[in-house]
Each structure stands twice: as C-alpha cells, then as structure tokens.
Amino acid sequence: MPTNAIAPSHSAPAAAAVAASPAAAAAARPWRVGLIGFGCVGQGLHDILARHPASGFVISRIVVKSPTKLRPLPASRFEFDATALLADDSLDVLVEVIDDAAAAFTFVAAALRRGRRVVTANKAMLARHLPELVALQRAHGSTLLYEAAVCGSIPVVRTLDAYFGAEPLRRLTGILNGSSNYVLTRMGNSGTDYAPALAQAQQLGFAETDPSLDMGAFDPRAKAVLLAAHAYGVFLDPEQVLNLGIEGIAATDIAFAASRGQKIKVVAGLQRLPDGRVTALVTPQLVGSGSPLFGVDEEFNGVVIEADFAGEQFLRGRGAGGHPTGSAVLADLAALRQGFAYQYAKTAAPPTHATDLEIEIYLRTAEPRLIDLLDFSEVSEEADEDGYVVGYVALAHLITHRDLLREYGAFIVRTGQLRPVGEAAEATEAAEAALETAGRGW
C-alpha cells in the first residue's frame, strides 16, 4: 500500500457484504453520463472530467447535431440522435447543453417523463417551461438540476433552494449577464463607444454573433425568472418581467452616472414589497460605490441576497465560458449522486407578482413623443440640451412600450426606488424611511 493511502476503516466481512450489494456497487462505480451538445459548455465539461478522472463521472455517449463538423475528438465518439439516449438505461444521468431551446425542451421533458436524472444549462428553455418541468418531476420521480443556467459558476440556485429554502428574502439584486457587463465596463473605464465595446466583447467570445439576447436583457430576464422560483416560490411568465437593455446607450449616459459618482450596470432586481407581493425587473441601473455590485466589472457576474435573518450576502464569479459553466454542471452531477433535488419549498405558498408600481428612471431620447407616451407622474430633472428627463413612470407603461422604446433607440436607467402608483414623492420618502428602519425597504 502506498504510504499516503488511507486504510479502510471497515472490517473485511463488512466490506464483502457491501461489495455484494448492487446498490453499493452502483454507488462505487463511476456514473455514466449521456452528453447532448458538444459546444462551449459540453466541451468544458468534457475537459474538466478528462483533467479530473477521480470525479466519479465518465462521458459514455455524446450527441451533436452536425455530422460534418470538425471536432477535437475522434468522429467515432459522436452520434446524432438524442432520443436514442433516452432509452439507454445504462446511462445514470443525461446532460443537455444544446443551443436550441425548443429541441432542448422536447428532449428534457421526454427524459423527465421516463424518470431520468437530467442536468441542463438552458435558461431560455427553463424560464419558458419551468412550472411544467417541475410538475413532470413530481409526477414521474425524475430530477432536473440547472445550476449552470444562472450565473455560470456561481452557486446561486442551490444556495437559494437548499440554504434559503426556509428563510424569507427581502431582496435579490444581481448582474446576471457577463456580455453586457463587459460592454459597460469598457465604456466606463476606457471611454469606448457602444459599437466598438460590443465588437471587443464578440472578439473575446463574451458576446454572441447576434448580441440582442444579451444586450436587450432577454438573457438576464430568463435568469431572473429562475431565481424568482427559488427565492420567492413564484413562477413568472418571462413576458411579465420588464427587461430593458443597453442597445441605445451612449457616452453621455455614462457621463450622467459618473457625475453622480455612480456606474451603470444591468441589474436584475427581485424584491418583496411591504404588502408581501413580489416584483421582478431587469434594467440598466445606477449603482453607487456602497453596493457590492459596483465592483463587479468586465465579464463577471454578482448576486446580492438580502435575507430576513441572515442579512446581506454577496456572491461573485464567472458567469459564462466552458470551464466555469462546466464546473456548475459537474457540481450538479455530484449533487445528483448524493440524491439532491430542488425542493421549490416556497412554491407551496407563492406570493402574488406585482406590476402596479411606479419606478424612477432616467430616459434619454430624441423622440419627445416617447416622453408623452410614458406619461411621467412626476419629473424631477429635465435637460433639453442632453435630451434626458428623470422622473417616475408606471412600470406597466414600460412593460407595454418596451419594444417601441427599443425601436426608437431610447435609453433608460433605473435611478431610484419603486413606489405604489400615484404615491407622492414626500410620502414615498417617508414610507421608505419607515420601512428601512423596519428592515423592509422597497
């Protein structure tokens, strides 16, 4: 025996008994993984398992789409029909990491109907179908984990589900999209304009060739929907969640934030309101140096969790890329092996989703009709020469007109708090002060 080997602590007869048990034998052997998708995430996982053979997982079958693509592994390793994996009972777990949300849903739903264990990274698919996928797991005793779908390597889904499953949360704020964060960092630090900053992000592989999902805040909206299910027990329709992106941003907006000592970040904000309802939105937002998100730059992600009893916690890490995302898939595989499943504990008594709120924004537009359309209930600042206005608008108006705002190149930043529709400024400040004192700020 090598000098650093640990001697078995059990006696020989006991060891023989364990070896005889099929369950124990299955527990001892590596788990066989069926991998669907061999792009950035699939190759990341493959590389991690190749470098870490003691992980307890081996990729047994790999399915991809294109039979003609050049691959870094021999052609004999690949097959092209994902459904063939569903019926292969020798596979302990299926990992779905393809870039086609519709095909991913068909496959994952079929696997869950067959009682399989599945890991996915597909946030767009999950955000659209989560209630159905949870119901399938409950009906068929299957398990679906998806840590990689939200903030890549940051263990936020399991933290919310398992650790904070019993504790009420006040607020969750996060930078959930590395591509837009990279663009904003370049614009803020180097004075780069939006188009070259985006081109840089694309060159470095941080942004897709079609950047609209990231820059239009559709990607962080899908992640916010997933976080809402675990943090508050509420299944949101992505369409109900306001998403405003940064496609219309210009140097003048960065200067506006800097003049206040703040940065612009795309922030997902989920919070419990004083009346117990929950709201969720993803918008560019002014972030001051007092926030942990102020220092989350470049392609990094960060999440601040404010819990009723634990107080504030902050998680920061890499939100994308083969290894960080592959690391999250590996963590899910290990969790499955230990029998872990999401509990969705808070879905037993879900709160109502609130959109009848007003929000303070900065709007810059060359199209005055947009200002009329948004029907500001209160204006605190207006600069004709820079074409911007700051004031309160109804969240519902922003949701209704978000496509038009995008079409006309308007740029919006959240500058302040939420308040009930029609509430006067002084009353809001008094209510905020009272609620902050009570630890329940808006």
Ligand X SMILES: NC(=O)c1ccc[n+]([C@@H]2O[C@H](COP(=O)([O-])OP(=O)(O)OC[C@H]3O[C@@H](n4cnc5c(N)ncnc54)[C@H](OP(=O)(O)O)[C@@H]3O)[C@@H](O)[C@H]2O)c1
Sites of contact with ligand X (CB under 6 A): 36-42, 63-66, 69, 82, 97-100, 103, 121-123, 148-149, 152, 320-321, 325
As a whole number of angstroms, the distance between CA 15 and CA 273 comes to 56
For ligand X, the closer of residues 127 and 307 by Cβ is 127
- Determine the residue with CB nearest ligand X: 39
In angstroms, give the least distance from the CB of 158 to ligand X: 15
For ligand X, the closer of residues 124 and 393 by Cβ is 124
For ligand X, the closer of residues 59 and 405 by Cβ is 59
For ligand X, the closer of residues 223 and 364 by Cβ is 223
Angle between helices 40-51 and 322-337 (to 10 degrees): 70
Amino acid residing at 366: A
For ligand X, the closer of residues 97 and 398 by Cβ is 97
Tokens linked to 64: 């991809």
Out of 65, 69, 123, 223, the active site residue is 223
In angstroms, give the least distance from the CB of 122 to ligand X: 3
In angstroms, give the least distance from the CB of 50 to ligand X: 17
Residue with tokens 């600042």: 381
In angstroms, give the least distance from the CB of 227 to ligand X: 14
In angstroms, give the least distance from the CB of 103 to ligand X: 4
As a whole number of angstroms, the distance between CA 253 and CA 388 comes to 9
Residue with tokens 């994308």: 320
| Residues 49 and 57: beta-carbon distance below 8 Å | yes
For ligand X, the closer of residues 97 and 335 by Cβ is 97
* Alpha-helical runs (H) found in 87-233: 101-113, 123-140, 156-158, 178-190, 194-203, 212-215, 218-232
Tokens linked to 42: 């699939």
| Residues 111 and 309: beta-carbon distance below 8 Å | no
| Residues 157 and 331: beta-carbon distance below 8 Å | no
Residue with tokens 């679906």: 144
In angstroms, give the least distance from the CB of 413 to ligand X: 26
Q: Which one, of 233, 315, 306, 320, lies nearest residue 269 by Cα? A: 306
For ligand X, the closer of residues 225 and 371 by Cβ is 225
Exposed, middle or buried, 145 (CB in 10 Å: 0-12/13-18/19+)?
buried
As a whole number of angstroms, the distance between CA 245 and CA 217 comes to 5
Q: What is the CA radius of gyration of the chain?
A: 24
Amino acid residing at 426: E
3-state SS string for 226-270: HHHHHHHCCCCCHHHCEECCCCCCCHHHHHHHHHCCCEEEEEEEE
In angstroms, give the least distance from the CB of 321 to ligand X: 5
CA neighbours within 13 Å on the CB side: how many for 43? Answer: 9
For ligand X, the closer of residues 57 and 362 by Cβ is 57
Catalytic, 223? Answer yes
Beta pairing partners, 393: 359
In angstroms, give the least distance from the CB of 165 to ligand X: 23
- Which residues are designated catalytic? 223
